[in-house]
Amino acid sequence: MVNLMSKTSRIAGAVLGAVALTTSLAACGGDSLENDKAGSGSTADAGSGGKGSLVIGAAAFTESKVLAELYAQILGDAGYSTSVTTVKNRELYEPSLEKGEIDVVPEYAATITEFLNAKVNGADAALAKPLASSDADATVAELKKLAEPLGLKVLQVGQAVDQNAFAVTKEFAEKNSLKTLSDLGKSKIKVKIAAGDECEVRPFCAPGLKKTYGIDVAGIDPKGVGTPQSKQAVKDGVDQVVLSSTTDGTLDSFGLVVLEDDKKLQNADNVLPVVNAKDAGSQEIADVLGKLTAALTTDDLAQLNLKVDAERAKPEDVAKEYLESKGLVKK
């Protein structure tokens, strides 16, 4: 599974992270990227480089690393010299993207929108007036308003989405005729959720399930977000629901199935590239990455994550295999 980074607090974390931005950067010391765009942790250059060089940034979790490799390899195939550099978190890589030390990053629409909302408008204003929603197009429209004055360009948003997902065992779903979260609410079954302890107060977790769906949440079992322990607890019947992610490729191995968020409780954390407008804002780069964005699905991401985390494959290898299988790069 991916490093979920506590999806229940993702938006709040983006807001708080933006507030702590100045302090974080001052304290990061050697973690800063150098102006030569090399960056610590860069992979070997890929591509001919005839069209220039591009640094692709990745956050320090599996899914981001896989996406960065996909971006690097498809751009490399198009004639750019590309390298991937892993930066710990958004608080560090977003300023580097603005400066042009990083050229391209894979992002999540709702999360980056609220991060920039807090950075531009302040944390209090962002919490009082969130700009992200469950509507991907509306969220991206707000994101562009925030990003463009910062020298960032937001590219095409895709159908692949990494959101909170609530899963139950297949047997539990079949026994109670459950396909959606609305079905669970209507069933009036008391459920205990295996999640992080913050689920009890986060609006996209227990409070949202109660308010939006009328789900009777009897308690939170604090075993973590999408951890093997959480999923095992649901498999064993200790808990009834686990909080995981839509791109968690391990759910099936635990006999679990996701209940559809049919009333759109979760914000639109669809995957999309964000680039430095000056250095990587060309239409050609947008078109190349657009082919990948159009092809990539939520299930694709789940399977790529599974290969890295469960099968111990390298992100660059699973990215290469995927791009070749979709005919997006030359074999």
59 and 150 co-located in one domain: yes
Q: Please give the pLDDT value at position 17.
A: 53
Domain count, the chain: 2
Q: DSSP assignment, residue 60?
A: S
In a domain, 138, yes or no: yes
Q: Can you tell me the distance from the alpha carbon of 97 to that of 105, in angstroms, rounded to the nearest whole number?
A: 8
195 and 241 co-located in one domain: yes
Q: Can you tell me the distance from the alpha carbon of 228 to that of 251, in angstroms, rounded to the nearest whole number?
A: 10
Q: Can you tell me the distance from the alpha carbon of 18 to that of 21, in angstroms, rounded to the nearest whole number?
A: 5
Q: What angle do CA 307, 13, 63 make, to 5 degrees?
A: 10
Q: What angle do CA 312, 316, 319 make, to 5 degrees?
A: 95
187 and 138 co-located in one domain: no
291 and 144 co-located in one domain: yes
139 and 286 co-located in one domain: yes
146 and 288 co-located in one domain: yes
CA end-to-end span of the chain: 28
DSSP characters for 8-26?
Answer: GGHHHHHHHHHHTHHHHHH
In a domain, 273, yes or no: yes
180 and 195 co-located in one domain: yes
**Domain stops at, among 259, 287, 302:** 259
Q: Please give the pLDDT value at position 71.
A: 98
Q: Please give the pLDDT value at position 5.
A: 42
In a domain, 53, yes or no: yes
196 and 282 co-located in one domain: no
In a domain, 139, yes or no: yes
Q: Please give the pLDDT value at position 50.
A: 79
Task: Measure Cα distances from 271 to 44, 73, 159, 225 in Å.
Answer: 25, 17, 7, 20
In a domain, 222, yes or no: yes
In a domain, 2, yes or no: no
Q: What is the pTM of this model?
A: 0.85
Q: What angle do CA 102, 3, 37 make, to 5 degrees?
A: 10
**Domain stops at, among 231, 259, 287:** 259
Torsion of CA 38, 42, 45, 46, to 10 degrees: -130
Q: Can you tell me the distance from the alpha carbon of 40 to that of 290, in angstroms, rounded to the nearest whole number?
A: 28
Q: Which parts of the chain have pLDDT scores under 50?
A: 1-9, 20-44
CATH of the domain at 110: 3.40.190.10
* Number of alpha helices (DSSP H) and beta strands (DSSP E) in the chain: 15, 10
What is the Cα 278 distance to its own chain's centre?
25
Q: Can you tell me the distance from the alpha carbon of 58 to that of 130, in angstroms, rounded to the nearest whole number?
A: 25
| Structural domain range at position 20 | 7-161+268-325
- CB contact at 8 A, 209 and 215: yes
26 and 150 co-located in one domain: yes
CATH of the domain at 184: 3.40.190.120
**Domain stops at, among 259, 281, 309:** 259
Pairing assessment for the beta strands 271-276 and 152-154 based on DSSP bridges: antiparallel
177 and 113 co-located in one domain: no
155 and 214 co-located in one domain: no
Determine what percent of the chain is predicted with pLDDT higher than 90.
Answer: 83
147 and 184 co-located in one domain: no
Q: Please give the pLDDT value at position 28.
A: 33
Q: Please give the pLDDT value at position 35.
A: 34
Determine what percent of the chain is predicted with pLDDT higher than 70.
Answer: 85
Q: Please give the pLDDT value at position 1.
A: 39
Q: DSSP assignment, residue 253?
A: G
Q: Please give the pLDDT value at position 331.
A: 87
In a domain, 314, yes or no: yes
Q: Please give the pLDDT value at position 327.
A: 97
Region class of 52: left (phi > 0), else alpha (psi between -120 and 50), else beta: left
Tokens representing residue 294 in the block: 């159009």
In a domain, 206, yes or no: yes
H or E element, residue 211: helix 206-213
What is the C-alpha R_g of the chain? 20
Question: SS3 for 141?
Answer: helix
Which spans in 214-264 are helix H? 228-235
Q: Residue type for 111, please?
A: T
Model confidence over 25-83: pLDDT tens digits?
333 333 333 333 434 344 445 555 579 999 999 999 999 999 999 999 999 999 999 99
Model confidence over 148-175: pLDDT tens digits?
999 999 999 999 999 999 999 999 999 9
